[in-house]
């Protein structure tokens, strides 16, 4: 059995933002397949993102483990990506439930159930203001030639929405857990503020493009 803990998983993550996104992936049940090979001492999990990514976790004799993922961010980031974080949290929960099932001591079961409850409460705790994003798509009447393009703009905030002038910088700040302010009411605090469920789905898609862009150094975002 691999030696793993929530603190250990958090420390393995590339940064706190990656850990938070991996935790959200786990809570959203994005592990769509998981197998364990007793002969190879290996977990294989499929995590659903913009694509389905394969995560492998190889168990060592001393309880340590190695991991890998085939997502683009592995080429750039040092540390575990969000898919590995989600996979490790899944394995951790599996181990905890296995121990709970195998325990014959009623008092032990009570203690583990209580610990599971408080850990779940900690994982679910959200601090800070919740914002929303709006997408505005402009399509010219006639797209001329191969260079024609539709324009996408974002507005964000709570009661009042502000235009996001540079989408790439906006995504970079969120990705790197940086705080920023747009207007008087849209003040995002890295690690505390969050977005509503619909906006998080949009952000997940855009941040996936941002990750790929950082790896291949292409230009998908421009000032709008």
pLDDT in the model for residue 17? 76
Collapsed DSSP state (helix, strand, coil) of residue 80: strand
**Rounded Cα gap, residues 211 and 53, in angstroms:** 14
pLDDT in the model for residue 65? 94
- The residue with greater pLDDT, 80 or 115, is 80
187-196: average pLDDT: 82
Decide the pairing of beta strands 65-69 and 130-138.
Answer: unpaired
pLDDT in the model for residue 211? 84
pLDDT in the model for residue 119? 56
**Rounded Cα gap, residues 212 and 207, in angstroms:** 9
Q: pTM of the predicted model, to two decimals? A: 0.61
pLDDT in the model for residue 199? 93
- The residue with greater pLDDT, 64 or 16, is 64
pLDDT in the model for residue 46? 96
Report residue 86's pLDDT band, with 50, 70 and 90 as the boundaries: very high
**Rounded Cα gap, residues 15 and 18, in angstroms:** 5
pLDDT in the model for residue 126? 43
pLDDT in the model for residue 108? 63
> Half-sphere exposure of residue 78, counting CA atoms within 13 Å on the CB side?
0
- Going by C-alpha positions, the residue among 176, 210, 206, 203 that lies closest to residue 18 is 176
> Half-sphere exposure of residue 14, counting CA atoms within 13 Å on the CB side?
18
Is residue 25 scored above 70 in pLDDT? yes
Token output for 144: 């001329």
């Amino acid at each position: 059995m691999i030696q793993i803990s929530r603190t250990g998983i958090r420390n393995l993550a590339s940064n706190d933002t990656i850990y938070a996104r991996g935790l959200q992936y786990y809570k959203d049940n994005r592990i769509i397949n998981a197998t364990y090979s007793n002969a190879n001492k290996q977990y294989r999990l499929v995590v659903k993102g913009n694509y389905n990514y394969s995560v492998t976790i190889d168990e060592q004799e001393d309880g340590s483990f190695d991991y890998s993922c085939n997502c683009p961010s592995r080429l750039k980031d040092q540390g575990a990506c969000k898919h590995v974080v989600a996979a490790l949290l899944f394995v951790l929960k599996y181990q905890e439930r296995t121990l709970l099932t195998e325990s014959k001591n009623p008092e032990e079961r009570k203690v583990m159930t209580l610990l599971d409850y408080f850990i779940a409460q900690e994982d679910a705790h959200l601090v800070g203001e919740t914002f929303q994003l709006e997408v505005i798509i402009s399509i010219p009447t006639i797209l001329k030639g191969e260079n024609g393009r539709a324009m996408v703009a974002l507005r964000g905030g709570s009661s009042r929405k502000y235009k996001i002038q540079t989408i790439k910088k906006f995504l970079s700040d969120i990705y790197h857990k940086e705080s920023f302010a747009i207007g008087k009411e849209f003040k995002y605090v890295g690690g505390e503020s969050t977005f509503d469920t619909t906006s998080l789905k949009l952000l997940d898609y855009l941040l996936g493009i941002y990750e790929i862009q950082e790896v291949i150094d292409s230009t998908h975002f421009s000032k709008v």
